[in-house]
Amino acid sequence: MSTSSSPRLLSLVRSSVLALAPLALSAMAAEVTLAAEVTPSPAATPASGSAFEDSPKAVIDEAWQIINQEYVDASFNQLDWQVIRQDLLGRDYASPDAAYSALRAAMRQLNDPYTRFLAPAEYAELTDQTSGETSGIGVRLERNNQTGAMLVVGVAPGSPAEQAGLVVGDRILLVDGQSVERLPPEGVLQQLRGDEGSQITLTVSRNSGAPRTLILTRTLIDLPTVEYAQKTVGGRPIGYIRLIEFNAQAAPQMSAAINALVDAGVEGFVLDLRGNPGGLLMSSIDISRMWLQHGAIVSTLDRDGNDDAISANRTALTQLPLTVLVDGRSASSSEILTGALQDNNRATVVGAPTYGKALVQSLHGLSDGSGITVTVAHYYTPDGTDISRRGIIPDVVVNLDDRQRRELFSNPTLLGTDADVQYLRAAEVLEETILANQGSPTPGASRLVRVPQAE
């Protein structure tokens, strides 16, 4: 495979996204960068003029054109894509929703869960999430699988939520007087978002205490996606960094975390990618370059057989020893970063096998505010490995049973603590690497020692 960065691949990176694994699609914990909208060619547009433009068929044809031009499989899963178009445009639609349903059904025939239609609300949610900023109150939410409670699991510093006194563990009961009992987390977050300067009323409880009512004013929020702390293993200071998703703010937040911990004198890092469903392709490349001084990062193959790669560019922020934590929910951009670090012997990977998503998507907005994601390429790790459906196998395998996983991830404050057995093993591996590197002629050089797999 090519190891140089071609202009074509750089263009692909700037207009592409790695669509979410199915486990994250419903949560919209997204991973996208906007691609340029594709305008239907004059030859492909029916001659009915403005009547067509004002009908739901216009959006259907926009989506069809994009898929026709970009989809990774030139055979369209053995479908006659022209016949599909004729069928879609030959129908009458009573409403946009009816057209959306027909378009979704047509796209499902591609048998590709990552090529999908997004209604306007879904598209807005996805673009807000991946931009790394939104107008809201600055919280992350999860529903407790055991109790069903809608819990605050993250509060942005300086946000309206923090100023109102919300803390991790608080339970959201009502939003503007409406119960959140039957809503998924993304549905509640949608309610929390709104115009900058508008107000929202929350009813919350803490530690099963009496409900209390808070009135908050929405503001523009940079969504926190990197959490970090200095920890100790064997008496040595190490840095722990958790990357939640690869949105547009992930790279600058990661850079700030690395630099702060290096300045604090840490001797190595544990990078936690567990539960990270992926994100912006460019974000995964930028972050890979923060850890990797040289070597290939990722290679892509499109439907025309173009095979290109992107490499590190000698801009690493640190060469201190590194271990990476992954699990079955680490997908897409998480796997690009993990594969780049593992294949270049830059890090020891600890945890459970990753999800196994090796496809690149582009995200397109349509004229009525809806959108589609379209698979445009297949990617490979630097060693040329296709991780589809098999994932990346850690160097040190540490599996959790269902109970351990439920207890750990239902309370994110336990991540990176003595209650986290995967983290403890990662810290042990990091200490072994630090000790092995003490004889390195260059301080801080990453001459890593692989540790045999262990259950």
| Structure token digits, residue 110 | 């591609």
pLDDT beyond 60 at 112: yes
The percent of residues in the chain predicted with pLDDT above 90, rounded, is 69
Across-strand partners of 325?
272, 350
Helix, strand, coil distribution of the chain in percent, nearest 5: 30, 25, 45
Residue carrying the six token digits 């009496």: 210
Average pLDDT over residues 318-341: 97
The percent of residues in the chain predicted with pLDDT above 70, rounded, is 84
Residue carrying the six token digits 């045999």: 452
Average pLDDT, the chain: 86
**What whole-number distance in Å separates Cα of residue 266 and Cα of residue 233?**
11
DSSP state of 246: B
4 against 308, higher pLDDT: 308
Lowest mean pLDDT across 126-135, 319-328, 354-363: 126-135
pLDDT beyond 50 at 4: no
Answering whether pTM is above 0.75, one says yes
State the amino acid at position 281 in one-letter form.
L
Exposed/middle/buried for residue 86 (C-beta within 10 Å: 0-12, 13-18, 19+): exposed
What φ, ψ does residue 444 adopt, rounded to 5°? 80, 0
pLDDT beyond 50 at 39: no
Q: How far is CA 167 from the centre of its chain?
A: 24
State pLDDT tens for residues 269-298.
Answer: 999 999 999 999 999 999 999 999 999 999
Q: Is 406 helix (H, G, I), strand (E, B) or coil?
A: helix
- 273 near 246, Cβ under 8 Å? no
Active site residues: 332, 343, 357
Domains of the chain: 28-116 (3.30.750.44), 133-222 (2.30.42.10), 226-437 (3.90.226.10)
pLDDT classification of 171: cutoffs 50, 70, 90: very high
Residue 23 confidence (pLDDT): 39
State pLDDT tens for residues 254-276.
Answer: 999 999 999 999 999 999 999 99
State pLDDT tens for residues 391-439.
Answer: 999 999 999 999 999 899 888 889 999 999 999 999 999 999 999 988 6
Those residues whose C-beta lies under 8 Å from the C-beta of residue 372, and which sit 6 or more positions away, are: 63, 66, 67, 107, 115, 116, 117, 118, 363, 364, 366
Which residue, among 205, 37, 28, has the nearest Cα to 134 in the 3D structure? 28
pLDDT beyond 50 at 107: yes
State pLDDT tens for residues 189-234.
Answer: 888 988 899 999 999 999 989 999 999 999 988 777 999 999 999 9
What φ, ψ does residue 378 adopt, rounded to 5°? -110, 140
DSSP state of 377: E
| Structure token digits, residue 372 | 């589609």
State pLDDT tens for residues 346-371.
Answer: 999 999 999 999 999 999 999 999 99
Residue 143 confidence (pLDDT): 87
Residue 26 confidence (pLDDT): 32
Residue 17 confidence (pLDDT): 53
